[in-house]
Structure 1
Amino acid sequence: MHTHKHTCAHAYTYMRTHTSAYTHKHTRAHMHTHAHAYTHIHAHTQAHMRTRIHIHAHAHKRIYMHARTRTHIHARTHTYTHAHMHTHMHRHTRMHTQTGVTDRAEPQVHKVDLNLNLHMHANAPRTTVVRVLCDIITQCQLQSHSQAHQSCS
């Protein structure tokens, strides 16, 4: 008789950054990230998952990102893992000039590559899945925030 554990986690995050330079150039970056993970692991199964995540965020476009996961099973049962995330990035730049104010959207592209080594056991609690998702989103935010500052320099 096989038992299984069903874990479903949702993580929402909203990041707003504001950067300014001495050239009176103000750049606002708005990124909305939605992460959904569905994990179905049979009991007494240890899975070693390596996930590479690619995020492409373009101005005024909604980006759907799928995580490719390589799973190595060291048991007789199987593991099903699905991860889905989409990112919405909006960048708006306002240029202050002597003749007036002009608004234009910058088609900035942000690419984030993450290599994760996850070792999740069958009896992993729900908080573990949520924590992993939060770590992923945090790294995405840090890299996007860093690139936003670099674009103003």
Structure 2
Amino acid sequence: MKYFLSIFTIFLSIFCFSQLKVVDDKGPKMIEVGKVGPMGTTNISMLKSEDDKIYCFEYQDMKFTQINTWKKFCFINENDDINNLYNLIIDGFEKNINNEVKLESQLHYITLRFEKQLGVMNFDFAAKDKSTGIVGYSRYLSKKQVNKLFGKTK
């Protein structure tokens, strides 16, 4: 009986102190809409879920020149928000003035910045995480690159 009790206690302690377990995490499958980067590399990519409800932007943070970090922000596409965002960016190019537009998504504050450099209008964005306060900056994009990122053929 002592032998059985000691074996039972050993097996019970093995199951009680197990710290890792396999979790089946199947989130929504993401499809790439477009990507932009110099000379075949990717700096910014736009992804969408199969049901077009979630859109994500993954981008290389340009805040630091020597550190290669990637950031991501996502939002739920309610009321055709992705097309409204695209139209807002294209309108910023067509106004041809330096300005900032501030947006708020479910988890981030997003600042769209338009700046004229050497006679060419450029666009970049900054995304600030609401919970951590960490800000990430994208690289500058031209109008042609924005069309490529959003999968438009204009």
TM-score by length of 2: 0.24
More strand by share: 1
Higher relative contact order (CA 8 A, sep 6+): 1
TM-score by length of 1: 0.25
